[in-house]
């Protein structure tokens, strides 16, 4: 996979602090290395060649996934017959990989830094979204977060393009961190996440 090798080599040359004696030959290990290098990368300019090759690679990876279109997601009135929920013909429940939704916008559970998760291959949704969208997402987040002094308050949100995701846009919002019991303050913060995202 030439594209993946190019991306890994580019990111390793750019980050001289990372020392790797031998590149993996196993495709899964290569993908994890590429993702890790992207995850730890600071939001700084990058070549057009890199972006073009990364776009090709991520689109190829996206084509291997099962994409869910909005028409495939049924309202609660169809899926739960005995529901008394108000607006059940407008509200849908869906469970799956958010990076496969072909809709207008998905919502990212962002951190207050607003730049995506920097932990290599972390399983959080923020990391999954940034890994699937590509480096341009962090660059756009960085541009927006500069205006916010790199802090996004709980309950606030901002919107970016979807880049290599099937969704057109991503809404990034910071939810409350629940320690034990949900407090009234945390309930209000969560309501604010929904309101600002909508």
Q: What is the pLDDT of residues 18-51, one digit of tens each?
A: 988 899 999 999 999 999 999 999 999 999 999 9
Strand blocks (E) in the chain: 68-69, 101-102, 105-109, 157-161, 169-173
Q: Which of the four pLDDT bands, split at 50, 70 and 90, describes residue 191?
A: very high
| Stronger pLDDT, 22 or 52, i.e. the higher one | 52
Percent of the chain clearing pLDDT 70 (strictly above): 100
Cα 130 to Cα 122: distance, rounded to the nearest angstrom: 11
Q: What angle do CA 27, 31, 34 make, to 5 degrees?
A: 135
Q: How many CB atoms lie within 10 A of CB 95?
A: 5
Mean pLDDT of the chain: 95
Residue 81 clears pLDDT 90, i.e. is over it: no
Residue 68 clears pLDDT 90, i.e. is over it: yes
Tokens of 185: 């303050």
Query: Coil, strand, or helix at residue 184?
Result: helix
Domains and CATH numbers, the chain: 2-67+93-197 (3.40.220)
Q: 65 near 100, Cβ under 8 Å? A: yes
Average pLDDT over residues 104-108: 97
Residue 59 clears pLDDT 90, i.e. is over it: yes
Average pLDDT over residues 86-104: 94
Distances (CA, A) of 14 to 45, 130, 188: 11, 19, 43
Q: Does the CA dihedral 66-56-30-120 come out positive or negative?
A: negative
Residue 55 clears pLDDT 90, i.e. is over it: yes
Looking at residue 66, its pLDDT comes to 96
The DSSP output letter for 183 is P
């Amino acid at each position: 996979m030439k594209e993946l090798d190019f991306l890994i080599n580019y990111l390793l040359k750019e980050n001289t602090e990372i020392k790797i004696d031998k590149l993996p030959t196993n495709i899964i290990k290569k993908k994890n290395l590429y993702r890790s290098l992207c995850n730890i990368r600071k939001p700084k300019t990058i070549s057009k060649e890199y972006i073009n090759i990364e776009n090709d690679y991520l689109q190829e990876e996206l084509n291997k996934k099962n994409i869910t279109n909005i028409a495939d997601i049924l309202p609660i009135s169809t899926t739960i017959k005995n529901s008394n929920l108000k607006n059940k013909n407008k509200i849908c429940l869906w469970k799956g990989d958010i990076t496969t939704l072909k809709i207008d916008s998905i919502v990212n559970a962002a951190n207050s830094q607003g730049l995506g998760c920097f932990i290599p291959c972390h399983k959080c949704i923020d990391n999954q979204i940034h890994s699937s969208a590509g480096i341009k997402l962090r660059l756009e987040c960085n541009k927006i977060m500069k205006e916010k002094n790199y802090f996004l308050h709980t309950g606030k949100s901002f919107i970016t393009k979807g880049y290599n995701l099937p969704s057109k846009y991503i809404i990034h919002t910071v939810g409350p961190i629940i320690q034990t019991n949900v407090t009234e303050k945390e309930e209000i913060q969560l309501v604010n996440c929904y309101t600002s995202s909508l």
